[in-house]
Amino acid sequence: MERLVIRGLHVAVEGQEILKGVDLEIGRGEVHALMGPNGSGKSTLGYAIMGHPAYEVTSGTIELVAADGTRRDVLAMEPDERARAGIFLAFQRPMAIPGVRLADFLRHSVTNVRNPDRKEGEELMPMREFRAELKAKMAELSMDPDFARRYVNDGFSGGEMKRAEILQLAMLRPGFAILDETDSGLDADAVRLASESIAKIGGAEMGILIITHHEQLLEHNVPLRTHVMLGGRIVESGGPELAAELHKKGYERIRAAYPDAAAAERAMEDAAGVAGRAVPAGAGA
């Protein structure tokens, strides 16, 4: 099975180093959870994998490694090429695109991702076929079909934005999905619905990295591995029991066990305090 392999990743935003050497490996069909306090670098990892231009990779590698050992250098790809290579990021705060209907955007997106070699201007997926598939997927996710006629994230509630992200995940069926706090801003019922939806969409073909503060999103998506990020590094990895522990007891044990990372966390907070927001608007942290 194909694997997403991250080695020694260092990432800076506006000259400030956020990730300080991250190693992570996710195989297709695996579910990983990434937890950690605010500002520890979780979202930065998501943006770096997707290729946000403001997130500068200063060293390290991100590669897609096929079962036969063929390696593809993700860092050499533009964000759209990464999407076509099968990488997906569900945004914590997705951008509004006024005037562009969700269905039209998604049809273009699905066409490109399923035909990685498509050139600009070539035919899109046939409308009838696309609509049928979209309708079926929306029914599976208990979504109102009219939702797809709305402008992308324009005037959406927090919950609607997250559901739109999950719909995109369902339509694009990426090889690797990074879900950045897909549970934030949702009430308990909505989190449960999101959790069930993700479980439905995932499967043996999809590797999932769930970035979350909470255990609840993992309810239907039991992680193979749980990783804890602190001060820009993954300091500890374990099984599902680690997620349960962090949920109950917080990060005190982790901070005590890894004083260097805890110090790095405080330094990053201080720098952010001096510089204002260290990361671009909408990027999360």
Partner 1 sequence: MATALETTPLNGGPADETAALKSVEINKYDFRTDAPAVFKARKGIDAEIVAQISEMKGEPAWMREFRLEAFKIFESKPMPKWGGRLGIDFQDIYYYLKPTEHQGKTWDDVPDAIKETFDRLGIPQAERQFLAGVKAQFESEVVYGSLQEDLAKKGVIFTDTDTAVREHADLLREYFGTVIPPSDNKFAALNSAVWSGGSFIYVPKGVSIEFPLQAYFRINAENMGQFERTLIIVDEGAHVHYVEGCTAPMYSSESLHSAVVEILVKRGGRCRYTTIQNWANNIYNLVTKRAMAYADATMEWIDGNLGSQLTMKYPAVYMMEPGARGEILSIAFASAGQHQDAGAKLVHAAPNTSGRIVSKSISKNGGRASYRGLVKVEPGATGSRSSVVCDALILDEHSRSDTYPYIEIEEQDVSIGHEASVSKIGEEQLFYLMSRGLTEAEASTMIVGGFIEPLVKELPMEYAVEMNKLIQLQMEGSVG
Q: Which of 120, 47, 124, 54 is nearest to 89 (CA)?
A: 47
Residue from 26, 45, 88, 218 that binds partner 1 (CB under 8 A)? 88
Closer Cβ to partner 1, 147 or 151, answer by number: 151
Where does this chain touch partner 1 (CB under 8 A) — which range of 86-94, 133-141, 192-200, 236-244?
A: 86-94
3-state class of 213 per DSSP? coil
Calculated CA dihedral for residues 78, 84, 86, 90, nearest 10 degrees: 70
Q: Whole-angstrom Cα distance, residue 198 to residue 201?
A: 5
Query: What proportions of the chain, in percent to the nearest 5, are helix, strand and coil?
Result: 40, 25, 35
261 binds partner 1 (CB under 8 A): no
Q: How far is the CB of 216 from partner 1 (least distance, A)?
A: 26
Cross-strand pairs, 93: none
Is residue 91 within 8 Å of residue 180, measured between CB atoms?
yes
Which residues are CB-contacts of 130 (< 8 A; sequence separation ≥ 6)? 103, 106, 107, 110, 124
State which H helix or E strand residue 228 sits in.
strand 225-230
Q: How far is the CB of 167 from partner 1 (least distance, A)?
A: 12
Within positions 22 to 61, which residues make up the interface with partner 1, using CB under 8 A? 50-54
Residue from 56, 151, 185, 192 that binds partner 1 (CB under 8 A)? 151
Q: How far is the CB of 15 from partner 1 (least distance, A)?
A: 17
Cβ neighbours, 10 Å, residue 124: 15
Is residue 232 within 8 Å of residue 260, measured between CB atoms?
no
Q: Sketch the per residue contact string, 189 through 228, with partner 1: x for CB under 8 A, - otherwise.
A: ----------------------------------------
Closer Cβ to partner 1, 37 or 51, answer by number: 51
CA distances 141 to 24, 123, 164, 165, 181, Å, are: 30, 28, 10, 12, 19
Where does this chain touch partner 1 (CB under 8 A) — which range of 3-11, 88-96, 134-142, 202-210?
A: 88-96
175 binds partner 1 (CB under 8 A): no
Q: How far is the CB of 185 from partner 1 (least distance, A)?
A: 18
117 binds partner 1 (CB under 8 A): no
155 binds partner 1 (CB under 8 A): no
The two structure tokens encoding residue 65: 């490694």
Query: Angle 102-114/158-172 helices, nearest 10 degrees?
Result: 30
Residue from 73, 80, 187, 260 that binds partner 1 (CB under 8 A)? 80
280 binds partner 1 (CB under 8 A): yes
Size of the site for partner 1 (CB under 8 A): 34
Closer Cβ to partner 1, 210 or 283, answer by number: 283
Phi, then psi, of 15 in degrees rounded to 5: 85, -10
Q: How far is the CB of 120 from partner 1 (least distance, A)?
A: 6
Residues that bind partner 1 (CB under 8 A): 50-54, 78-80, 82-84, 88-89, 91, 94-95, 97-100, 105, 108-109, 112-113, 120, 151-152, 168, 172, 280-283
